[in-house]
């Protein structure tokens, strides 16, 4: 009841902190889907931010009626959702973990600025390395668990589903599967739960005479893992894919359309992991992550997930 009261008072107000390609793409996607009534853009480059706001606002009205404007951190007051994209982006040849030093400093400054004006709402971390920054942001903000979430493996999962759909030559809607763990090179595809229209993947492939073995799985996993680097090599940055993923999460938070997605939050003992943020299939709602779901995985998948946790714990300890 309390969550519903909080939602009913909301104005569907969103703040986006960091208005580079990712932040601007998210603002545009939110606008054309009419997911927010008010979108405030916050960035150190005020002139560019004003330009982005005007450009989005000048679209054909029936394609989106959101109020989009350049603002300041004080405009984070009474936001239903605060999206943080601020930070240095990956360069060709870099992994997400190469961004740690620069982006931890940026995130610390952003959080300190938000805290002066925060009254309510969900914080969504998009900046990389997202799992580490989500852990730190949650620690600094001291909000109820789940109120700070990272986009985590939602984009990896989307790419995974697309690869499986391409391999089976089926629509993505019939493919159900998740990537969990780190949003990075050690991400874990959960092959044991992958299904096609309710059929286990191996059973479906057997039915239609499609090859399904370790070589096929490793080939697909490699494609999913390298897609971000491939896009960056080709065009210098990725922003459209994550913008649509953020819209899916924003819809669940702003409009109470519950959805399930593989996002990153600080774990509280799930799979024996505590005090580190990793992605798990989670129910997303008005309070962010309402519940993390526990699945039955293979031993190999479980061990890979645990290895993710140990790796990230060590990185945070070294910080």
Q: What is the pTM of this model?
A: 0.92
pLDDT of amino acid 232:
84
Strands (E), the chain: 13-17, 38-42, 67-70, 81-84, 122-125, 148-150, 175-176, 179-180, 188-189, 195-196, 199-200, 259-268, 274-285, 288-292
User: How long a stretch of residues is the chain?
Assistant: 319
183 as an active site residue: the answer is yes
For residue 6 the two structure tokens come to: 């909080």
Helix axes 154-168 and 240-255, enclosed angle (nearest 10): 110
For residue 63, CA distances in Å to 16, 34, 78, 150, 251 come to 20, 8, 26, 28, 17
The architecture that CATH gives domain 2-150 is 3-Layer(aba) Sandwich (3.40)
pLDDT of amino acid 10:
52
> Do 254 and 80 touch, CB atoms closer than 8 A?
yes
Q: Which of 58, 89, 117, 183 is catalytic?
A: 183
| 185: phi then psi, degrees, rounded to nearest 5 | -70, -20
Interval 84-136: pLDDT, tens: 999 877 666 666 667 788 899 999 999 999 999 999 999 999 999 999 999 99
- Which residue ranges of the chain lie beneath pLDDT 50? 1-9
CATH of 154-318, picked from 1.20.140.10, 3.90.550.10, 3.40.50.720, 3.90.110.10, is 3.90.110.10
What is the residue extent of each domain of the chain? 2-150, 154-318
pLDDT of amino acid 175:
98
Q: Half-sphere exposure of residue 61, counting CA atoms within 13 Å on the CB side?
A: 0
């Amino acid at each position: 009841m309390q969550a519903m009261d909080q939602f009913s008072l909301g104005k569907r107000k969103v703040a986006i902190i960091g208005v580079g390609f990712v932040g601007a793409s998210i603002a545009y996607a939110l606008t054309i889907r009419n997911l927010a009534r008010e979108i405030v853009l916050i960035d150190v480059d005020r002139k560019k931010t004003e330009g982005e706001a005007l450009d989005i606002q000048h679209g054909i009205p029936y394609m989106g009626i959101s109020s989009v404007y350049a603002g300041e951190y004080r405009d984070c007051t009474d936001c239903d959702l605060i999206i943080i994209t601020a930070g240095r982006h990956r360069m060709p040849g870099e992994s997400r973990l190469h961004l740690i030093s620069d982006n931890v400093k940026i995130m610390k400054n952003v959080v300190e600025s938000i805290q002066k004006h925060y009254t309510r709402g969900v914080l969504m971390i998009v900046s990389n390395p997202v799992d580490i920054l989500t852990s730190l942001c949650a620690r600094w903000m001291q909000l109820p668990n789940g109120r700070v979430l990272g986009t985590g493996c939602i984009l990896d999962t989307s790419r995974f589903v697309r690869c499986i759909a391409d391999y089976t030559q089926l629509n993505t809607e019939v493919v159900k599967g998740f990537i969990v763990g780190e949003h990075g090179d050690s991400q874990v595809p959960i092959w044991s739960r992958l299904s096609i229209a309710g059929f286990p993947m191996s059973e479906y492939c057997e039915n239609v005479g499609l090859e399904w073995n370790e070589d096929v799985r490793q080939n697909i996993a490699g494609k999913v893992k390298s897609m971000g680097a491939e896009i960056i090599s080709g065009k210098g940055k990725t922003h459209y894919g994550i913008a649509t993923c953020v819209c899916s999460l924003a819809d669940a938070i702003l409009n109470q359309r519950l959805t399930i997605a593989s996002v990153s939050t600080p774990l509280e003992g799930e799979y024996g992991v505590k005090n580190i943020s990793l992605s798990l299939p989670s129910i997303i709602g008005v309070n962010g992550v309402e519940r993390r779901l526990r699945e039955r995985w293979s031993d190999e998948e479980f061990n890979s997930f645990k290895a993710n946790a140990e790796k990230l714990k060590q990185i945070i300890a070294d910080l």
